[in-house]
Copies of this chain bind each other. A is one copy, B any other.
Amino acid sequence: MGTSAPHPQPPRRRSDVQRNERSLLEAAAAVFASSGVDAPVREIAAAAGVGVGTLYRHFPARSDLVVAVYRHQIESCAQAGPALLAAAPSPFAAVLSWIHLFVDFLGTKHGLARVWQGDADGFTALHLLFIDRLVPVLTDLLDAARKAEEVVAPITAYQLIRAVGDLVAWTSPDPDYDVRRTVTLLVSGLKQEQPELWQPDPAIG
């Protein structure tokens, strides 16, 4: 890492390209909000007044479009990490708060988590963005909480954030189920020495 190319902007950007990309982003934001991130591609293209071909040229994978739409929200979530750590009464409280910030972000987008790791190869742009931006933030929070001896479970930030993502993925209006409570349960497990798994002796049958 060193003198990385500052801004290798290619020669120019045609005006219609920029206009269409803007239209697509606005349309996608609207459609995502009303119909969820699983909305049909055609619907988004139509809302943008654009052909599906154009949509695919700008955003080859659905997750590319999703990250483009939500990038700034993810960014502000990432930036909230250090701030929370500074303001919270304890590192653990910061971890818990930040995770819930993340949950609120994911929860408001129906089915977002279904995208964030939906691909079989798990190599979507969303996945990458999460790992690049969010995992380091959570790692710092966890390290601080560990240093304060509030967290003892040997779990990586990646494991934790992915678990939360999975939990929130299925957000549905079930009155008997509260994701936030579950997430709190998960996070509170960090305070516990992880128990060994007792297994029945198969020989006893």
Give residues in A with beta carbon < 8 Å to B. 83-84, 87-89, 92-94, 96-97, 100, 117, 120, 122, 153, 155-156, 158-160, 162-163, 166-167, 169-170, 172, 174, 176-178, 181-182, 184-195, 197-200, 204
| CB–CB B170/A167 < 8 A | no
- The number of times this chain is found in the oligomer is 2
Given contacts A94-B198, A122-B172, A160-B185, 4 further A-B pairs with CB under 8 A are A96-B195, A97-B198, A162-B182, A166-B169
Q: Sample 18 A-B pairs with CB under 8 A, ordered by A number.
A: A87-B200, A97-B200, A117-B170, A117-B172, A155-B185, A159-B178, A159-B181, A162-B182, A163-B167, A163-B182, A163-B185, A166-B169, A169-B169, A185-B186, A185-B190, A187-B189, A187-B195, A188-B194
Q: CA–CA, A83 to B204, complex, Å?
A: 11
At the interface, is chain A mostly helix, strand, loop or mixed? helix
Assuming A97-B200, A166-B170, is B189 touching A176 (CB within 8 A)?
A: no
Q: CA–CA, A94 to B20, complex, Å?
A: 58
CB distance from A141 to the nearest CB of B (A): 13
